[in-house]
Amino acid sequence: MTILTASRGKFITLEGIDGAGKSTHLSWLENLLRRQGKRVIVTREPGGTPLGETLRQLLLDRGQVIHPETEALLMFAARREHLDKLILPALDRGDWVISDRFTDASFAYQSGGRGLPSRKLNVLEHWVLGKFQPDLTLYFDVTVELGKQRTSAIKAADRFEKEPEEFFRRVRDAYLERVRIFPGRMRLIDANKPLEEVQKSLHDVVISYCDA
Ligand SMILES: Nc1ncnc2c1ncn2[C@@H]1O[C@H](COP(=O)(O)OP(=O)(O)OP(=O)(O)O)[C@@H](O)[C@H]1O
Ligand SMILES: [Mg+2]
């Protein structure tokens, strides 16, 4: 008897500062992958599980004053749950998982933005993820000014979005540094361009990844 086992799915993460276009491109990417015949699960961080979504509410609540280390620990606590309850089971079933943010965001926001030493985040990353990494990370690069213009037009600022521009400059620099360090896994997409052009770049990166 032949036992058919589904091949493991792929884990794709979308990163970028607020207003870079992650959520917009996530639905577009989901449709693109479905057209390629993949089963796709869409999720986000912090969040993705009931506990993670509760932590998200606390983390984004502008009324909360949270120590940067507590913030990092809560992000990784939510991530541990996310990995166990959603990401790994889906990949094992052969589904593709797309997450709106993942661990690169912790390095960008809690280290770059808040100033925590990255060695502390390395410890948490190793503890929570072991050797697990996204298969592909799409980093949407946008200037701080343009990102701010795009988000302030659509919603009230959350606990991160109310930070000054200088904070987002450090976050962007930290993302750019990670793209430099991990050129294989992370791909930079210029998100300053009009939507159709960004989608064209996204399409080319993803199709070449799927064909490889
Ligand atoms: N390349 C683009 N050109 C013009 N408008 C864009 C572009 N990309 C995104 N937008 C618009 O900018 C706004 C913010 O985009 P989106 O919500 O996808 O960003 P985001 O990265 O998910 O932000 P956040 O981190 O705050 O969730 C949306 O109204 C979206 O339609
Ligand atoms: Mg979004």
CB-ligand 1 contact for 138 (6 Å cutoff): no
Q: What is the pLDDT of residue 4?
A: 57
- Provide, rounded to the nearest whole percent, the portion of the chain with pLDDT above 90: 90
Q: Of 75, 115, 96, nearest to 30 (Cα)?
A: 96
Q: Which residues are registered as beta bridge partners of 50?
A: none
Q: Sheet holding 40-44: strands in order across?
A: 40-44, 96-100, 11-15, 136-141, 186-190
CB-ligand 1 contact for 191 (6 Å cutoff): yes
Residue 157 pLDDT class (50, 70, 90 cuts): confident
Beta strands in the chain (DSSP E): 11-15, 40-44, 96-100, 136-141, 186-190
CB-ligand 1 contact for 147 (6 Å cutoff): no
Atom of ligand 1 nearest to the CA of 151: 14
Instruction: State the average pLDDT over residues 178-184.
Output: 97
Is residue 174 over pLDDT 80? yes
Residue 55 pLDDT class (50, 70, 90 cuts): very high
Q: Which residues of 84-115 are buried (b: 16+ CB within 10 A; e: fewer)?
A: eebbeebbeeebbbbbbbbbbbbbbbbbbbbe
Q: In this predicted model, what pLDDT tens digit does every residue of 75-108 receive, in sequence order?
A: 999 999 999 999 999 999 999 999 999 999 999 9
Is residue 28 over pLDDT 80? yes
List of domains in the chain:
11-211 (3.40.50.300)
What phi and psi values does residue 158 have, to the nearest 5 degrees?
A: -90, -170
Ligand nearest to the CA of 16: 1
Q: Per the structure block, which two tokens stand in for 10?
A: 């792929």
On whether the CB atoms of residues 137 and 12 are closer than 8 A, the answer is yes
Q: In this predicted model, what pLDDT tens digit does every residue of 120-146 receive, in sequence order?
A: 999 999 999 999 999 999 999 999 999
Distances from the Cα of 129 to the Cα of 76, 90, 121, 123, angstroms: 9, 16, 11, 10
